[in-house]
């Protein structure tokens, strides 16, 4: 059995979070992960508090286990969503794509545990001071909005910069990844791409197929010109967007080109004009399974790998 302080901190069985994936991580998927012993996370994405309230209610109707909400800090609705999280006393909030400091007093006051996703040591230091309960260090292997550093170099540097427990994210898709994260000093992991193909995940079938078919070099990063690089599976949309980035078109036009593309992938399953965000680990994700089975399988494998870790030490 693998148990770490993350389990005791949050009252969960396995130290694994399911990433808050916009248009994908809803109340049903979060409940399935929480029922499987991990921490399921609902994405508040770019929608308003009314949408989030619906998903929180759905999640609570399906599980009595702890769960979390992910706030995308660039969302125009981040303020109202932050207030709802405090009112609902959601057990855990994770934040992405920015600095969560302005909302932290509100959440801490309400007893919400705040676990920011960071892509740099500077942000890890800042959120440690601001009262975070733990930190997710996410490397650029992940899907969606990515930083520059890889998981391999980011995690140990964040571990050295904070006294808080650290979870590793980005490029973790099986038990070997969990074991490696522990070797870097992490006490837990966050996984997105593998849960995207969970049976309980309601994303469009075409999205799941794309992840299941992806190989090691199937993803690419676009969006650097506008300052928010995003990793996705290569397709017509991604290539055309990349071409546009290097063309003369204005930033406004470029912004327009990207808008709605994730919705077209996740909800409509449009293989040409949709933006299929996924991590580099997609090449290793080869079967659809119940969320609970994914968690069990990953930790059984991690246990075997960790038990054998001393084999070469004489």
The residue ranges that bind ligand TUI (CB under 6 A) are 22, 72, 96-99, 117-119, 123, 138, 144-147, 228, 230, 277
Q: How far is the CB of 43 from ligand TUI (least distance, A)?
A: 9
Q: How far is the CB of 210 from ligand TUI (least distance, A)?
A: 16
Q: How far is the CB of 74 from ligand TUI (least distance, A)?
A: 6
Q: Which residue is nearest to ligand TUI (CB)?
A: 144
Angle, CA 118 vertex, CA 178 and CA 53 arms, to 5°: 90
- For ligand TUI, give the closer residue by CB, 228 or 296: 228
- For ligand TUI, give the closer residue by CB, 6 or 44: 44
Q: How many residues can be counted in the chain?
A: 314
Q: How far is the CB of 238 from ligand TUI (least distance, A)?
A: 13
- For ligand TUI, give the closer residue by CB, 118 or 238: 118
Q: How far is the CB of 118 from ligand TUI (least distance, A)?
A: 5
Integer CA distances (angstroms), 65 to 36, 92, 127, 302, in order:
10, 12, 26, 24
What b/e sequence results for 186-216 when a residue is b if at least 16 CB atoms lie within 10 Å of its CB, and e otherwise?
A: bbbbbbbbbbbbbebbebbeebbebbeebee
- For ligand TUI, give the closer residue by CB, 62 or 191: 191
CA distance 289 to 204: 16
Nearest to 113 by CA among 69, 77, 75: 69
- For ligand TUI, give the closer residue by CB, 37 or 98: 98
């Amino acid at each position: 059995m693998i148990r770490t302080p993350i389990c005791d901190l949050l009252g969960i069985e396995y130290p694994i979070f399911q990433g808050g994936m916009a248009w994908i991580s809803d109340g049903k998927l979060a409940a399935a992960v929480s029922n499987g012993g991990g921490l399921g996370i609902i994405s508040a994405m770019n929608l308003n508090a009314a949408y989030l309230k619906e998903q929180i209610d759905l999640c609570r109707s399906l599980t009595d286990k702890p769960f979390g909400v992910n706030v995308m800090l660039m969302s125009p609705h981040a303020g109202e969503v932050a207030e709802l999280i405090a009112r609902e006393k959601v057990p855990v909030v994770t934040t992405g794509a920015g600095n969560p400091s302005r909302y932290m007093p509100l959440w801490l006051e309400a007893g919400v545990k705040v676990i920011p996703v960071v892509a740099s040591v500077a942000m890890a230091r800042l959120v440690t001071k601001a009262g975070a309960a733990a930190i997710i260090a996410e490397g650029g292997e992940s899907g969606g909005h990515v930083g520059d550093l890889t998981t391999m170099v980011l995690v140990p540097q964040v571990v050295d910069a904070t006294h808080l427990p650290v979870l590793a994210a980005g490029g973790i898709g099986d038990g070997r990844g969990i074991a490696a994260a522990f070797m870097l000093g992490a006490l837990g992991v966050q996984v997105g791409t593998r849960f995207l193909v969970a049976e309980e995940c309601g994303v469009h079938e075409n999205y799941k197929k794309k992840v299941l078919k992806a190989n090691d070099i199937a993803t690419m990063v676009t969006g650097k010109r506008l300052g928010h690089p995003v990793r996705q599976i290569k397709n017509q949309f991604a290539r055309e967007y990349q071409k546009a980035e290097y063309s003369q078109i204005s930033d406004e036009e470029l912004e327009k080109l990207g808008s709605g593309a994730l919705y077209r992938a996740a909800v409509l399953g449009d293989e040409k004009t949709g933006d299929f965000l996924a991590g580099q680990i997609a090449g290793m994700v080869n079967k659809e399974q119940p969320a609970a089975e994914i968690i069990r399988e990953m930790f059984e494998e991690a246990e075997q790998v960790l038990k054998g870790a001393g084999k070469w030490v004489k």
